[in-house]
Amino acid sequence: MQVTKRYSDPRCPVPLTSTAETSDILGRQQVRLLHATAIALAEAIDAQETLDVLVRQIAQLGGFRLGQAFLVSPDQRQLTWCAAWHEGSPEMAAFVDLSRQLDLAKTRSLPGAVLLDKTPYIRDDLNSPLDAARRDEAVAAGLYAALAVPVLARGNLVAVLEFHRPEPISPDGNAAILAEVLATHFGTAVVLRAAEAERERLACEERSGRTQLEALSRRLLSVRESERREISRDLHDEVGQVVTALKLSLETAGHRMESTKAALVTLMKQIRNLSTKCRPPMLDDLGLVPTLEWHFQQYTAQTGVRVRFRRLGTCGRYHPDLEIALYRTVQEALTNVARHARVPAARVVLCVEPDRIGLRIRDRGTSFDPGRVRQGSTGITGMQERLRPFLGKLTIQSERGRGTAVTARVPAINHEVRTMTDPITVVVADDHKIVREALKSLLGSESFQVVGEAGDGLEAVAVTERVKPNVLLLDVAMPGLGGMDVVKQVVKRVPRTQVLMLSMHAADAYVNSSIKNGAAGYALKDIDAAELFHAIREVAAGRRYLSAPLEESGVAEGELNDPYETLTMREREVLHLAAEGLTSAQIADRLSISPRTAETHRANSLRKLGIRGQTELVRYAIGRGILTAPA
């Protein structure tokens, strides 16, 4: 620690000698302050807040009258005033103000010296060449001795701490040592926080990379199947037809061309087999079960391994991607049986249950340890990746003497398996007729089946309960009964119907409330047609959907505490109708209750919400989305 030369000065009071008892009391006080400092530093949020805590605590621990902190610029050339603590006199406040205004890195100052040397400095009197620019203010505040210490993080100076008091400061005294120790702790904390921030950044990048990799893997599988489909079609439709025409032409050439004709027949058969192997056309034309049965015949003819196939439950047509995923899983598992199991037969079971689709491929042959299979094995990885988009799970069990079982399970969302021949049924609920007509026309063009429509909330609940659609497409702002309450009623009365909110409102409150009340998705009205079709299919499949801007903003994750939740359903119905301007008699007629009951419900709902008068009610209804604001 560098110490400037000390001169005697009658203005510097000499500290009194402490007794042993006084030292013991001071020691206990310092321990308590150190403990409080550690807690405060741990709870501080950022560097500025931490430095503020550090300056205050060091000043109290060391008996200083004033303390300041200065942040160091990344290029190690600038000092920026950051925090200060003092005993509250106007003179000390003036000294702090001057320190804040001066560029101490360019003046001969104690913090400037630390910036250059990265070592502590002590100034014991005002005759020191340092701090000439602040001497008058220091004299006025009675500050004759000062200590400045560096805060280092991995060898880089991140801050400078400066402390002042009237009494001399010993380089070996408690005050100087405590200041250096706590400054070192803060420097370590800066390093740890930077390391934690870097770790979190890397973790986020890893998660993002994993998500992108999974998306890329699914895209790769999709592209590969698409290419196989195209190759299969080209082989059959183009090459196969040309070879057929050539064979027919050779028929007219007589018996001299018999060998050529035989070769062409063989070539046609190979083309047909190659086309089928790429992607069986019957998978698109006839579905999963007929294709599996055909594949088992071909497999037995090629490998000699018989396949016993059993179906449990009703098997229909499924989504093309799901059908190809299940088909490829069976195909890959049976390929492994032929290569490794050394058995004459295998068994395949397809089981369709109310809550899942299951596949099991089992043999009684040679076993293996699934845990020791080479990481990234293309067969197992391919099966897992094909099932992942459908939330499917692949399980492999292999025991010596019992063989191997490969089991694939895919959840059937909504406790039912939707087949391709059954269109998704939709009820459209919007208070604007022109919007309903446009949506009905748009959905009809994409083979959705619109089975009902509604112009207000009460009608939406009634129609949905009557026709039980796959999806209720619902506007947030509905007359009669608001969209949030429609969701609650539909979830309670028609649990198999998924609700997709369609709204102009993108505020978090609308989205959070919708999801909390049971909506499966929330789409903004400015999405394009293709995205709307995707949203409907997503919620129909039991998956949550949020428009891209909402998903990116991270909404729909919190919980809301809302007095509106305390209203009964009848009180909400009355509240919504009252907001539309209906009188108690009109509400009673609409809901088939007495006017007195309607008035009671109206009064109770307004009391619970703290609303006074019709004007406040209309304002509240617009803000919540119960009513649409006038243009």
Q: How confident is the model at residue 249 (pLDDT cuts 50, 70, 90)?
A: low
Predicted local distance difference test score (pLDDT) of residue 1: 55
On the question of pLDDT at 8 being above 70, the answer is: no
Take residue 552 and report the two structure tokens written for it: 């990116």
pLDDT in tens, 409-430: 988 653 334 444 467 899 999 9
List CB contacts of 537: < 8 A, sequence separation 6 or more: 424
On the question of pLDDT at 65 being above 80, the answer is: yes
Predicted local distance difference test score (pLDDT) of residue 562: 63
| Domains of the chain, CATH where assigned | 2-195 (3.30.450.40), 286-415 (3.30.565.10), 423-550 (3.40.50.2300), 561-631 (1.10.10.10)
List CB contacts of 415: < 8 A, sequence separation 6 or more: 354, 355, 496
Where is pLDDT greater, at 171 or 12? 171
CB 363 within 8 A of CB 341: yes
Predicted local distance difference test score (pLDDT) of residue 22: 43
Where is pLDDT greater, at 192 or 78? 78
Mean pLDDT confidence for 418-443: 82
Sheet order of strands, 403-411 included:
306-312, 345-353, 356-363, 403-411, 393-399
Mean pLDDT confidence for 68-75: 89
Q: How confident is the model at residue 360 (pLDDT cuts 50, 70, 90)?
A: very high
Name the DSSP class of 14: P
Distance between CA 496 and CA 208 in Å, rounded?
Answer: 33
* Residue of 286, 539, 589, 259 lying closest to 418 (CA atoms): 539
Q: At 409, give phi and psi (nearest 5°).
A: -125, 130
Place of tokens 């050439």: 253
* Residue of 19, 195, 6, 160 lying closest to 81 (CA atoms): 160
Residue type, 205: E
CB 359 within 8 A of CB 369: no
Predicted local distance difference test score (pLDDT) of residue 190: 67
Mean pLDDT confidence for 369-388: 67
pLDDT in tens, 382-392: 788 778 777 88
Predicted local distance difference test score (pLDDT) of residue 11: 37
In angstroms, what CA-CA distances link 102 with 112, 213, 535? 11, 54, 61
Mean pLDDT confidence for 391-415: 81
Distance between CA 153 and CA 161 in Å, rounded?
Answer: 14
Report pTM: 0.34
pLDDT in tens, 544-563: 788 777 665 555 444 445 67
Where is pLDDT greater, at 226 or 544? 544
Per mean pLDDT, which range of 238-242, 285-289, 474-478 is the poorest?
238-242
* Residue of 292, 277, 294, 297 lying closest to 323 (CA atoms): 292
Predicted local distance difference test score (pLDDT) of residue 576: 86
On the question of pLDDT at 212 being above 80, the answer is: no
Where is pLDDT greater, at 384 or 223? 384
Mean pLDDT confidence for 186-213: 72
What percent of the chain stands above pLDDT 70? 72
Predicted local distance difference test score (pLDDT) of residue 481: 86
State the chain's mean pLDDT as an integer.
77
Where is pLDDT greater, at 260 or 409? 409
Q: How confident is the model at residue 372 (pLDDT cuts 50, 70, 90)?
A: low
Q: How confident is the model at residue 493 (pLDDT cuts 50, 70, 90)?
A: confident
- The burial of 22, by beta-carbon neighbours within 10 Å (0-12 exposed, 13-18 middle, 19 or more buried), is given as exposed
Distance between CA 629 and CA 449 in Å, rounded?
Answer: 32
On the question of pLDDT at 156 being above 90, the answer is: no
What percent of the chain stands above pLDDT 90? 12
